[in-house]
Amino acid sequence: MATKNLSEYNTANVPDASNMIFGIVVAEWNPEITGALLQGCVSTLEKHGALPENIHVKTVPGSFELIYGARQMTLNDGYDAIIVLGSVIRGETPHFDYICQGVTQGIARLNATNNIPVIYGLLTTNDLQQAKDRAGGRLGNKGDECAVVAIKMAKF
């Protein structure tokens, strides 16, 4: 469980993003959640100077496809960072575990083998309310957090 608001951070510690280009891959599954994550992410990037034309958004059908989408974006040398946004909500079958584990390992592999940081923005929650709480609800917005991490890692 998140112990802090995902949208709270020290703005003084965030570099200027006005010369940075970001790729965002967002899953279409659970659109109420992923749409809110995307909105938070884009607004935070722009808040720190990223130009709208330097924020490129692509969609994929589900969270497992985030790996492929991010990999395709790493092949474009123009990105300073890539952000993946998705939401997997536990159900009655082990599908949740396979998807979460696969995406986590895939994004970790991309980070270990490429020169562009890929920021992990996959919500893995037990129920819809937990996802809402982390997509603009009482615990802030994971999209905000991912944008800040992307800016910092692009500057790393």
Residues assigned a catalytic role? 95
Both structure tokens of 58:
């692509």
**In this structure, are strands 118-125 and 135-137 parallel, antiparallel, or unpaired?**
unpaired
Q: How far is CA 118 from the centre of its chain?
A: 9
State both tokens at 15: 């570099």
**How many angstroms separate the CA atoms of 83 and 135, rounded?**
15
Q: Is the four-CA dihedral 33, 67, 20, 153 of positive or negative sign?
A: positive
Residues near 113 by beta carbon (within 8 Å), at least 6 away in sequence? none
